[in-house]
Each structure stands twice: as C-alpha cells, then as structure tokens.
Structure 1
Amino acid sequence: MFWRGDDGYHFNIKMINPLNGQETTKKVSSMNYFAFRLMVRQNADNYLLRFRRLLQRYCVDMYCKIETERLTYIRINQSELRSEEYIHLRDAISTEEDAANVGRLTILPATYIGSPRHIHEYAQDEMTYVRNYGRPDLFITFTCNPKWEKITQLLLPGQTSVD
C-alpha cells in the first residue's frame, strides 16, 4: 500500500500550526493521523481508498492501534485520572481473599467507550428517557438502493456502488 516508503505514524510527530506552518509543542494523536490519511479531498486523489478489502483490513488494524494508544494512556496516567479514589477498587481489594493475586489494576474511566462504567451510564440515561417520555412505540429502519442516481453521483472516480 505504501510504495513511496512512507514512515507512517509514530509518537513524536508534531502538530503544525495551519496559520504559520511551524511545528507546535503538541503531538499528533494516532486517531488524527489516520483520519488525515483516510480523508476524502476534493482536488486530490487518495490512493488508499482504492484498495477495497485491503483498505478495510488497514482500517481495522489502525483502529486497533488507536485503541491500544488510548488504553496505554489510561494505564500510564491512572494517578491523573484519580483511579485510586474509586470506591469499587477499594471494595474489590478489601473483600478479595488473596489480595496478593490482584495484580496491578487499571480502572477504565466512564469516558472510555465500551467500559462497564460507560455502559452503566448509558443504561441510566435510557431509564431516564423512559421515565420522562414513556416506552418507545416506534421503530424506524432505512434502506436504500445502491444504484440510485443520487448515490452514484457522489461516488469517487473508479468507485462502484457495490464497494
């Protein structure tokens, strides 16, 4: 995919100020880097988007890289995330019969999508909606035909509606 010998993402890529073109002290996150690489631009050809199944595999691999970076940040910065103050952590350690087998715990914050705390907050929000507005009584699905003219007009050169 990268016949030009592109370096790819690494932790030390600096952000560039769009106003003056100079490097800033901030670093580019992997999510920003890969979003930039996959972006569709009006007057430029993004060859990555032409790889079909290989592109899908690339996107999955890069998503895993992004999630790994996020989890590494959470694990390294547990003290800044105030994880030692979570009551459930204290309860788990105090009720554990053999506390030596616990190991190093990493607490996922509620802001981490998919964590148990995040799912619990969403469940609480859903219960609040049901309490305020009642049970849902309408389920809507949308379908479309990939051969519709409005869809085929928006395809990039070389793309087909079954890609």
Structure 2
Amino acid sequence: MFRAAFDYDPSIDYNVHGYIGMMDVICSHCEAAKFSGETAGMCCVNGKVKLPEFEPPPEPLQSLIFETSPESKHFLNHIQENNSSFQMTSFGATKIIRDQFMPTFKIQGQIYHLAGSLLPLPDANHQFLQIYFIGDKNRELNQRCTIGSHTKREILCELQDLLHQHNELVQLFKTAMDRLPSDNHRIVIRADKTPTGEHSRRFNAPTIDEVAIVIVGDHFQSQNIILHRRNEQLQRVSELHRCYDALQYPTLHWNGHDGYSIPMINPSTGT
C-alpha cells in the first residue's frame, strides 16, 4: 500500500488494509476535528488563520436557504439550476464524457471557468455576465428563465433584485460599464488587490513554509481578469483569483466579496 494515495484504484477495498482511527483530535484554536497523526498546525497554522464570521444573507435568500416552505424546498432541490441562471462565468473541463442514452455527463481532468465580454456581439444573445446588462428587468428575467427548466420565475425575480442591489461585483461592472467610452477599452480586476479598508501588509505572501498547497496542471499563476466591453474572445479565470468563486457561484457568494483573502493574525491578541 506504499504511496497508494497517489495511485488510487477503485477496484481495491482500502478498508481491509488498515484503520487510521477516528477524527477525535480537536484543535484548541479553531476546533477542527483531525486524526491523531495529523500535524497540530495544519488546519489554522496554530491560530494564525481565522475564518471570518458567516454573514447571513438578506431576504429572500435567507428564507430560501434556511426555511422549510414550498418555495424554499423547490429552491434547494434545484439550487444548481438557480445558480446557473445567475453565474457570471461559464463552466468547462479539459475532458467531458457524455452518455449517448442519458442526459448526463462525466467530468475528467481539470475544470475551469471562462469569462466573456460585458456585452454580446451584434445580433447575439446575452449570456452569463452579459445578462446583467440587458437593461430591462423583464427581458433580463425572461432570459434567465430559459436557462433552467425547473426554476420558478418568482424566485428568479427576487434573486435578480437581490444581486443587483447587494452584489459588489455586479455594481462594479455597472459602474465601469458607464465609464467605458468604446469597445477598445477594458476592465481589469487585479488578482493581488488588497480588499478595501485593509492594510496591504496583512496580505503579504508568506515568507516561511508554514502552509503548503498542491496544484495539478500548469494554470497556477494568479492572473488578472480582463473584461472587454464587447469582444468575441473568452478568458480563462485563474483558480487562484480572488473573484473565482464569487463569479461562478453568486447564490453562495451573494455579496460578491473577495475569496482567498484571509489575513493571518496574532493568536495571542486576535489581531
């Protein structure tokens, strides 16, 4: 079984080759459950990394997620389609295997997200981020209703109003859109930008090997996102970009806040 984790074989019953025990070791800093053989600081670097408090979403998303009404159950049962109606980037993979008899597919290889221009080419349909710039609420809603066959128009209408009001990325794109004088100009979302109100040194790259990350593939550069007003080219969004998740999962990141921007703190002072 040496190095078996690097050569997984689904035909092997790994349970018969040993037992690593229960996850009954609790971190004194973040209360994460770990196995007895795991390094003490692998979860939160001994208290130096502290996850931000969960911010409850505004209505109607709060009720749709946490209540048990018929609308909430319908939303949760079809949450992927509801999210697809608002995602700003497209989803793809290096290898997709489709079943010729079933409306399903399997993903092999690396997944990726693609971002297009803010406006479609003349006579082309609005897609993904472009839907936010249709300019008419009812037309925008009509376009979203065509994306998922199990979505409810009333729920999409409420979520559409919520994202236009609270999502910082949508507001950023709208503001930039008004300032772009021509199709030759572009919007750049920097990958290394410090969040508003934070000191830049709190987000410096680590200088010692306290945290390690394994990345498969060649796309590991923290590249900027460059959006054009109108362009037929698609841009691959880096997996390490701070907006990577917020662009693809707007129902989860409803406020459009940055991801991967958790500063390290002093465990003794909490600052």
Q: Same fold (TM over 0.5)?
A: no
More helix by share: 1
Determine which structure has the larger strand proportion and give its number: 2
* Bigger radius of gyration: 1
Q: TM-score, normalised by structure 1?
A: 0.27
Higher relative contact order (CA 8 A, sep 6+): 2
